[in-house]
Structure 1
Amino acid sequence: MRIGLITPEPGHPLLAGAAALLAPEHVVEALDPTPPGNAPVPVPRRPADVYLLKSGTRHAVGLARELERRGAAVVNSAAATALCQDRTEMAGLALRAGLPFAATRTVGPLAAWASGARLTAPVVVKSRRNRKGDLVARADDDAALRELARVWPREPVVVQEYAPNSGWDHKLWAIGDQVFAARRRSELSPGGRGPDLPLALDDLPSGWAGLVREVGTVFALDVYGVDVIDTGGGTPLIVDVNAFPGVRGQSGAPAALAALTLRRAQGRRP
């Protein structure tokens, strides 16, 4: 069986771990979706049986769409990956499905919105396009908002009301039906983001693991992350959904990904 990795970083620990488990019996090939000189990415003449889409760039998603058109299975699908790159579409789908997702407003370029905005409560400002190195920041007043606008003037953004919480983010990941969890200090907390601290599923509030699986069903995702904060008494608020996150440092994650890959290649969803 031939397995393709759509990524500029095939050495990523999750991918490399899964590839090592698959390589003894299968051919694993990396396909870099980063085009030289912005040229189109060559599409293999004979697609692999299944591809792991570990990139959300425009070129990577376009390549995945073409591979799907030619009959290859892709994890996650191009459509599901693209949806998670747009926080406006993400929030709209989650809220329509009844998920406890943070209310999200799309306001356009940050400087244009900030010039007329008057904050009466803290807000979280995020890049509309979900990507590595994007803008995620808390603004407590107009002065803080104007400073963000000075640094990110043309960035299209969405705005969420800041929900008081413990200052800890719950990083929840799913690979197929298997859920992994960690805690870390929120990047919005005064001390900034800290390292991921592994968390046993039994230590999650009741129903949270099931909520993660529900997100996967709503978004048609196989490998994904759900960022959740506890707003009091174990009440979850989803603030982000990510397609194919790193899931670093989670025992069993590479094995779960290898098993999922083979199931998808054989045409069976988990």
Structure 2
Amino acid sequence: MRIGLITPEPEHPLLAAATALLTPEHVVEALDPLAPGTVPLPLADVYLLKSRTPAALGLARYLERRGAPVVNSASATALCQDRTRMAELALEAGLPFAATLTHDSFATWAAAAPDLPSPVVVKSRLSRRGDLVARVDDADRLRELAAAWPREPVVVQDFAPNSGWDHKLWAIGDRLFAAVRRSELAPGGRGPTLPLPPAELPPGWASVVRKVGAVFGLDVYGVDLIDAGAGSPLIVDINAFPGIRGQDGAPEALAALALRRAAGGPHA
């Protein structure tokens, strides 16, 4: 089999480990979306899209038009970048996602916003490295952020009281991985990521993750959940092809998924 990696970082730990498992019997080629030149021929049997840049999405769409399977698809990857579309689709599907309002400009919304009776979470509409994710408790904090991000399109959600711990759940095909980490919105910010056996998840949480994959058309993805009370999950983020670092069995699951998709098998 020929497996293509759409990424500027083929040395990423997950990709490098999966490549090491595949290369004894298969060909693995890395395609940097920004590198000049044409796509190597013949086309690979499957491509793994581990990048969300416009160049990477454009390359993935080109390969899909040529008939090559791409994991995850360009459309599913782009959908997970737009937090407005993400919330709309999740809520339409009955997933436990926070109610979300969208504003074209942070500064314009902040100028017209009424007093905040309770904390809110403000995020960049477009998910990307270095984007805005912040808890806002009062008018002073609102003005501070609006001055720093005046033209940024944002989404606004009510802050859901929780333990301060995010449950990080990841799926690769039919395999599920889990960990817990202090939320970036908690006092003191993020801490280390602590492994969590999936069997120790609250009842029903694994099913929520599986439904996310089906609704969003994802094969490799992450779902960030918080306990909104009495073990009820609330989705705070969905990511296409996250890093999934330090999870035993993740490279093996990715290698197996790549071969299954290359052979024309089911998504998951």
Q: Deviations over 1:110-152 (max 9, x none)?
A: 1111111122211000011111221110000111111111111
Query: Which residue does the alignment assign to 2:252?
Result: 255
The answer to whether the aligner puts 1:47 opposite 2:43 as a matched pair is yes
User: For this pair of structures, how many residues does the alignment match?
Assistant: 266
Query: Which residue does the alignment assign to 2:241?
Result: 244
Matches of residues 97-246 of structure 1 in structure 2 within 5 Å?
97-118=93-114, 119-246=116-243
The one-letter code of the counterpart of 1:70 is: R
- Structure-2 separation of matches of 1:85 and 1:170: 20
The answer to whether the aligner puts 1:24 opposite 2:41 as a matched pair is no
The answer to whether the aligner puts 1:2 opposite 2:15 as a matched pair is no
1:45 Cα offset (Å): 4.3
1:58 Cα offset (Å): 1.1
SS in 2 for 1:115: helix
TM-score, structure 1 as length reference? 0.96
Instruction: Please identify, of 112-121 and 238-247, the stretch whose mean Cα deviation from structure 2 is larger.
Output: 112-121
- Structure-1 separation of matches of 2:67 and 2:200: 41
Query: Which residue does the alignment assign to 2:73?
Result: 77
Query: Which residue does the alignment assign to 1:59?
Result: 55
- Structure-2 separation of matches of 1:198 and 1:263: 27
Query: Which residue does the alignment assign to 1:91?
Result: 87
The answer to whether the aligner puts 1:11 opposite 2:11 as a matched pair is yes
Q: CA RMSD in A?
A: 1.1
- Structure-2 separation of matches of 1:210 and 1:81: 21
Gaps (5+ residues) in structure 1? none
1:257 Cα offset (Å): 0.2
The one-letter code of the counterpart of 2:60 is: A
Instruction: Please identify, of 178-187 and 201-210, the stretch whose mean Cα deviation from structure 2 is larger.
Output: 201-210
- Structure-2 separation of matches of 1:90 and 1:214: 14
Identity %: 73
Q: Is the 8 A contact 1:4 1:28 kept in 2?
A: yes
- Structure-1 separation of matches of 2:41 and 2:155: 40
Q: Is the 8 A contact 1:117 1:142 kept in 2?
A: no
Q: Is the 8 A contact 1:68 1:74 kept in 2?
A: yes
- Structure-1 separation of matches of 2:130 and 2:224: 16
- Structure-1 separation of matches of 2:176 and 2:223: 10
Q: Is the 8 A contact 1:35 1:59 kept in 2?
A: no
- Structure-2 separation of matches of 1:43 and 1:139: 46
1:44 Cα offset (Å): 3.6
Q: Deviations over 1:13-44 (max 9, x none)?
A: 110111100010111111111357xxxx7434
